[in-house]
Copies of this chain bind each other. A is one copy, B any other.
Amino acid sequence: MNGGSPVRQASVRAHNLALVLRQVAVAPRPPSRADLASSTGLTRATVSALVDDLVGGGLLAEVGPAPRAGAGRPAAGLVLHAYGPAGLGLEINVDYLAGCVVDLTGTVRHRAVVPGDQRPLDPETVLAAVADLGARLRAEAAAAGRVVAGVALAVPGLVSGTGLIHRAPNLAWHDVDAAGTLAGGPLGDLPVTIDNEANLAALAELHADGQGLDSFVYVSGEIGIGAGIVLRRELFRGARGWSGELGHVCVRPDGPRCRCGALGCLEQYAGQEALLRDLPAGEAGLARLRADEDLAQHRLPAAGTSLGVALAGVVNMLDVDTVVLGGIFGPLAPWLAPAVEAELSRRVLTSAWSPMTVRASALGPAAAAVGAAGAVVRDIVAEPAEWVRS
């Protein structure tokens, strides 16, 4: 019945706390209270009061006065508190589990990756294993003086806002109540959010703070192909949170049959299994690539062309100017990117006057875990009010 947002009374405070904290987070060097006053438009009086609250809540810390040029009282620099609340990120993927802890600034402090095919295991076993991994990392963090404030879990599937994994095709999971299961484990006292692996990897890419990314499609090439869409530095989730199923965008209406039942899905042209199909067994990765000339000379460029066709459609609809190749596509980018770029510049309408960029991801394997942990602390920075109960 309600039209939308609730009222806003003295939640002006909450807004301004967030505003100040965000300014500190994005500042290139520790700003003073006076800097914050001018960058936010608030008065110095107000900023001082807000900063006091944030320092009291353990979110901000003062650093010694920086040497200044010219006269005047030296400014006390403000930084996000390195020992403020930390975020725990976990990732379940088809062939590994991963986790990491980041501090408020987004710096990774602890991490772990456990390789292993999860497909033979049932969901409860996998969720228990990843929770144990998380508990270990949490203990490590605690020993170093950091308190984990929340968990985010990345999974290769479609997730409801309530923490239900609706479907994870490549794990053959469906309707798994991951949030409920985790609530009963060793992390049960922490707030848990669950999200798609490509979405969280895209967030990690965004905050890896490369070349000022603003809007892009992050392509996650794992066993399946997913995509995370970032528009104006915000994750785009679609209407129900099930956006980004790039792997099932059609490349040829009469192509080979996909596991999803349709014909000619991108996954059949550029998925990991399609890439390696019928190849002699051997070590994976770049080594095999160099060993196999057919792969490098023909298969990968062809896969790149298919990827480019699918992405061109996406870009024509969504209007982003950058594509980031992640997951296994990252290290394969030298063989894939030229074909992707060629298709994009041919097929994207706006590329005529605003050329597309195709990049390899700057992140390593467990990108989604890092993105998940970062999402936890970024939520705190975005809504600090409840940490400031003075």
Contact = CB atoms under 8 A, between A and B. Distances in A.
A242 interface: yes
Interface stretch (A92-100, A231-239, A329-337): A231-239
A3 B16 contact: no
Contact of A321 (B19, B239, B248, B252): B239
Contacts of A238: 231, 317-320
A141 interface: no
Nearest to A175: B353
Interface stretch (A6-14, A108-116, A176-184): A6-14
Report copies per complex. 2
A215 B239 contact: yes
A277 interface: no
Interface residues of A, number: 70
Interface string A160-184: 0000001100000000000000000
Contact of A250 (B4, B166, B312): B312
A158 interface: yes
**A2, A239, A321 interface centre (most CB from chain B within 10 Å):** A239
B15 A317 contact: no
A349 B39 contact: no
A8 B1 contact: no
Contacts of A16: 7-8
A309 B354 CA distance: 27
B7 A347 contact: no
A12 B19 contact: no
The 10 closest A-B pairs by CB, nearest first: A238-B319, A215-B239, A249-B313, A245-B316, A242-B319, A243-B319, A262-B347, A3-B22, A7-B41, A3-B26
A248 B349 contact: yes
A272 interface: no
A346 interface: yes
23 contacts: A3-B22, A4-B22, A7-B16, A7-B42, A214-B239, A238-B317, A238-B318, A238-B319, A238-B320, A239-B318, A239-B321, A240-B321, A240-B350, A241-B319, A242-B350, A245-B317, A246-B316, A246-B317, A249-B316, A250-B313, A251-B253, A252-B253, A317-B318
A310 interface: yes
Contacts of A227: 317
A41 B2 CA distance: 10
